[in-house]
Chain A
Amino acid sequence: MSKIHSVLLLATSVSFITGCAQIQPKAGFEQVEQMISNRLNQQIRWVQNSEEDLAVQEQIKQLLSKDLSADSAVQIALLNNKNLQARYESLGIAQTEVVRAGLLKNPIFSFSAKFPNEPPSSASLEFDLIGDFLNLLMLPARKKFAAQQFEQVQLELADQVLRFATKVKKHYFRLQFSQQSVAVLHEIVSVYEVSFDLAKEFYTAGNIDELQLLREQALYETTRLQLAQNTLTVSAEKETLAQLLGLNNTQLWSIPSSLKAVPSVQPDLNNLAQLAIEQRLDLAAAGKQVETFASKLGTTRNWRLLADAEFGITGERERDGAGSIGPALSLAIPIFDQGQTEIAEANAYLRKSEHTLSALVLEVQSEIRLAQQKMLASQMMAQRYQSTIIPLQEKIVRLSLQQYNYMLLGAFDLLTSRQNEMRVYQDYIHAVRDYWIARADLEQAVGGNLRFEGTGMPQKLPEKISNDQPMQQHGGH
């Protein structure tokens, strides 16, 4: 009986070792939350039909009540996008793997009874309780792999969240640019329209020919179509952003009508590669994979000869009533298979993961360089527009007006100079958009927020180009 007792004890202790692994509803999500808030200053929530969900909905409502900033758009998307929630579930799935890793294979109990065909008629009974030996021995290692893999899943998930945030931001800037550009285009169309209407008056008076009138009309009609096309682009971009924000309407929210100007305080662009190594989660995930495969290789090497080993208890009761119980062990004799394939496989996985990591390091550095160049170039262009090209166009309009005043220039040429001024303004906001997009790309390339040496709130751009020409005084007639 004491032997049976010890067997029970063994079983209990085994189940104790493995029993730690239990399924928790948000296992590991806190770390993901932490990673995101360290990098974005934004919150994420895993909506699981709890009371917390109501608070999230309230927060979204609050954010939607005002014009959305790029940050609040990202925040709403992080809280409300259902694809993101679907991805969070992968963490739950990964967690079951961890728990599964902590469970032992169930031992196999086999029982046989043999009945004599002649008396004495008592049967002889045999039973075996066989467990996978390696399964038990490798339990700690298996749990370690699972934990590593789970960490990798967390890192990858957080990385996907960051990429998603960048995507939202970029779509936000695209929409904002398109909105503003359409507003400017409206003005441009008005100029073409008035130019055409003026041409009609010239034509009615008998002062221009039909050819010139039709040329004016052609310009007007073409620009009007361009406006229709661009208005459609705004709708499409608003739909895209609505999808990303998890909203099923485009009317109940809005973003400010104009882009923010390129800020005067620029991020610290030194040691961005170092920053990326510290922050980038895909790099960390790839590193974690290398680590996992390295430890797997070690374990495989150590235990390769014990594959297919089994141990257990075997017991027997003879017909005469005498019973016996004792340990049982079966071992594979490594004559043919000495685990070479397993080692080779583990080695290959390790090398594969190492190469992947190296490639990723190169990609990250390249991404940083490219995004940085794009950001600096668009910053330079935006500043050039602001400091030189726009004032230049404004002055051209002013001087054209002066020429018009002295009848040196016709009204059509004057209006054309105004159109050119507006077109240049469109080019300017395009450069500003490119700046914000490149900056979002750079943030993604370094795996999070850029460091600023100081703080400077970017100025809001004027919604349309300033036209504060002094009104001419005019008396006499």
Chain B
Amino acid sequence: MLNRRHFLSTTLLAGLTTLFTNTKAAADQSKKIFSSNSPPKPVIVSNGRKLPWEIVNGAKQFHLIAEECEQEFAPGMKVKCWGYNGSTPGPIIEATEGDRVRILLTNNLKEHTTVHWHGIFLPNGMDGVGGLTQPSIKPGETYAYEFTLRQHGTFMYHPHADEMVQMAVGMMGMFIIHPKEQVTNVDRDFAIMLHEWAIHPGTYRPDPAVMLDFNIFTMNGKVFPAIEPMVVKTGERVRLRLGNLSMDQHPMHLHGFAFKVTATDGGQIPAAGQWPQTTVPVPVGSTRDVEFIADEPGDWVFHCHKSHHTMNAMGHDIPNTLGVDQSEVSQRIQSLLPGYMAMGEDGMAEHAMHGKHMTGPENTLPMMMGDGPFGPIEMGGMFTVIKVRDQLSNYDDPGWYEHPKGTLPKKW
């Protein structure tokens, strides 16, 4: 509680300061307040990996391998994706402003590709647009991209050759550039790549032809409840770096806190432009950094607020069963079609149970999943939990929150 109050007063102070000074001055001041000599804390990638590097000829040399890979979105669903170095999204490239980076791209796909450094300032020739700034990289070829990082922030990489197909099947990753000096003192810095997929029930491969009717929504290539929770100690400053290369905007909503959008892939947002929000729309082809102080312990949900995006595969063209009385016909249908069960008359919550007891199509997740301490959570897709705890010995999943007495709703 103390921490929360402290944060509020700090914010209040900052707000007042902003009111009475000009923007530039405020930015300078915040720099002064938060700047330190400590090196930037490495980014945390739930369910993900980072791309290792080594210094070769004076540059941080990374090696991306474009290839097909099988990825488990959640137990019971494996998807034949294209990605980098065996996963989608590919491993995060993490570097620091001022670094000279050399990124090798080996194409192990059966069609050509390129890699475009989304949002990064670089010489035009390194921009990775097949046909425009370079020849596409043929299967088996390796190309080296080399440039100096002139900015910091959250960026992305993705192909710019047969882009529609290659991104639909998973080719993308995040590119984090830390500032030379820490701008804000962030304790927990999470990077989450959002994506959406059309994987028809019973199939294994995303369908790139689908433009609107997506049915699987992932954070770092996983769906709830396979998405690792973000574990935070009470009072810690948290940054969520969100990237979106899907076909839809995702309004990402946080329970329990207000956050500020501190940066986009276009750069830092001046403090004056950082208004408090609980939902940040992450537009198609952009990144958002949001920051907040996790000063209230609990299991706080972070999810896309398009409610269909927190569901797994479901029929979008089926007759609406809501309010349909099947008590008379269902027995007759059962005699003609053993195994038939009337459903959906009173709502779809029962599907959280169906997933456990009824057989669905091969390689298909039930539309709602996840069990909490009080019952089925009835979610899927872009849904995860930020677990804020007063006491933590490490950042492993601490289990469900134990609510202090008197802080739970009562049956009236």
Residues of A within 8 A of B (CB): 187, 190-191, 194, 197-198, 201-202, 204-208, 397, 399, 401-415, 418, 467-477
Contact = CB atoms under 8 A, between A and B. Distances in A.
B231 interface: no
B336 A408 contact: no
Contact of A405 (B313, B326, B329, B354): B354
Contact of A472 (B319, B332, B357, B367): B357
Contacts of B353: 474-477
A406 B338 contact: no
Interface stretch (B155-163, B190-198, B358-366, B387-395): B358-366
Contacts of B123: none
Interface in B321-335: 321-326, 328-329, 332-333
B336 A407 contact: no
A191 B341 contact: no
27 contacts: A190-B332, A194-B329, A194-B336, A197-B328, A201-B325, A201-B329, A206-B323, A207-B319, A207-B322, A207-B323, A402-B362, A404-B340, A405-B354, A406-B313, A407-B314, A407-B344, A407-B351, A408-B315, A409-B315, A413-B318, A418-B336, A418-B337, A468-B338, A469-B339, A474-B341, A475-B353, A476-B356
- Determine which residue in A408, A413, A477 has the highest number of CB atoms from chain B within 10 A of its CB, and name it: A408
Nearest to A399: B361
Contacts of A190: 332, 336
B69 interface: no
A408 B350 CA distance: 15
Given A194-B333, A194-B336, A207-B322, A476 B315 contact: no
B350 A406 contact: no
B124 interface: no
A205 B358 contact: no
Q: Looking at chain B, what size class is its interface with the partner chain?
A: 35 or more
A468 B225 CA distance: 34
The 6 closest A-B pairs by CB, nearest first: A476-B353, A406-B360, A410-B318, A405-B358, A469-B339, A205-B323
A201 B324 contact: yes
B1 to A, nearest CB: 40
Contacts of B324: 198, 201-202, 204-205, 207
B135 interface: no
A465 to B, nearest CB: 11
B340 A401 contact: yes
A187 B336 contact: yes
B37 interface: no
Contacts of B362: 402
Interface of B: 201-202, 313-315, 317-326, 328-329, 332-333, 336-344, 348, 350-351, 353-362, 364, 366-367
A411 B339 contact: no
Given A202-B324, A469-B337, A402 B344 contact: no
B319 A194 contact: no
Contacts of A399: 202, 361
Nearest to B359: A402
A198 B337 CA distance: 14
Contact of A407 (B315, B332, B339, B356): B315
Contacts of B336: 187, 190-191, 194, 415, 418, 467
A468 B319 CA distance: 26
Given A472-B358, A473-B357, A401 B337 contact: yes
Contact of B357 (A194, A409, A476): A476
Nearest to B348: A407
A470 B336 CA distance: 13
A472 B357 CA distance: 7
Given A194-B333, A409-B315, A476-B350, A401 B339 contact: yes
Contacts of A467: 336-338
B319 A405 contact: no
Contacts of A197: 328-329, 332
Contact of B358 (A397, A411, A474): A474
Nearest to A475: B357
A403 B338 contact: no
Contacts of B202: 399, 403
B339 A406 contact: no
A156 B328 CA distance: 65
A402 B360 contact: yes
A72 to B, nearest CB: 35
B337 A397 contact: yes
Given A204-B325, A469-B337, A406 B366 contact: yes
